[in-house]
Amino acid sequence: MLTRHIRTVIPRLVPIRLSKACYSEQHQKERSEKPNESGTTHFGYETVKESEKWQKVHKVFEQVASSYDLMNDAMSFGVHRVWKDIFMERLGPIGGGNRLLDMAGGTGDIAFRYLKYLNNQQPEANQAANHVTVSDINQNMLDVGQERYKRLSITPKNCTVDWVCANAEKLPFEDNSYTAYTIAFGIRNVTHIDKVLSEAYRVLKPGGRFLCLEFSHVSNDYLRWIYDQYSFQVIPPMGQILASQWQAYQYLVESIRKFPKQEEFKAMIQDAGFKCVQYEDLTFGVCAIHSGFKL
């Protein structure tokens, strides 16, 4: 097959080390400790050392950062915008004093929706200021987001914004410091999902909400077959044509299949301490929104 031939000639991704410039001195020291070399995990369908996965994932997003939004539109025929709009509607920030941590939010899609949502509200007198922290482990993605922020000329009303390069498994934020935590299409790329959920729980204030938008699993057999054909036969070649990146998008479709199914992920969120955990399938389960509260 043509696709098999092309895949054999595309070079494999080469792991690189992420610059530590974007971390605080304290967290640089923590990450300089020797990682666990014995544990293994998945990078798509490939089995790798736990200490290598974040390097490989970082390389993927370093390569696709500049074409990330274009590829999202092409792969989903623009439907990802609807998913993200629904995601923000489910969060529904109201009034003042909201503090959102948008993790894996480098290009700003969720943060910009948050700002627009707040801008569309009529502020009350003496309303407390809102805030959003856009955080990502990849500085290249944050650079794209900040460029978009300037280009779109978004003027927040009564809301401050900061951009922080950080690892979702070990956040440089204080306990009980945010009222909401969002992560969209990012949690499947981490090495330890349980650590990310634990950190999300730690930084949320009591009563705070965790919301995750992520690719998930189609339950209908017929629809799943169609979805799989599209994913494996169309998306990687599309990535090669539009972004000169076959392997990065091959990893994308494989990582989706390795991510826990809806009920399993729900149980993981509950194990992290969250209450009232529920999920909502979008587009027949192509993606899902999971929600939980720190009570």
| DSSP per position, 42-107 | EETTEEEEHHHHHHHHHHHHHHHGGGHHHHHHHHHTTHHHHHHHHHHHHH---SS--EEEEET-TT
Q: Which residues contact 36 (CB under 8 A, 6 or more apart)?
A: 50, 51
- The closest alpha carbon to 52, from 104, 10, 8, 13, belongs to 13
- The residue assigned the tokens 């280009």 is 151
What does the block give as tokens for 224?
A: 């799943």
* 40 and 47 Cβ atoms separated by less than 8 Å: yes
Angle between helices 246-258 and 2-9 (to 10 degrees): 110
Mode of pairing for the β-strands spanning 204-215 and 178-184: parallel
* 250 and 44 Cβ atoms separated by less than 8 Å: yes
Residue ranges at the known binding site for S-adenosyl-L-methionine: 107, 136, 167-168
Residue ranges at the known binding site: 107, 136, 167-168
Alpha-carbon distance values, 10 to 55, 113, 146, 244, 250 (Å): 19, 37, 31, 10, 11
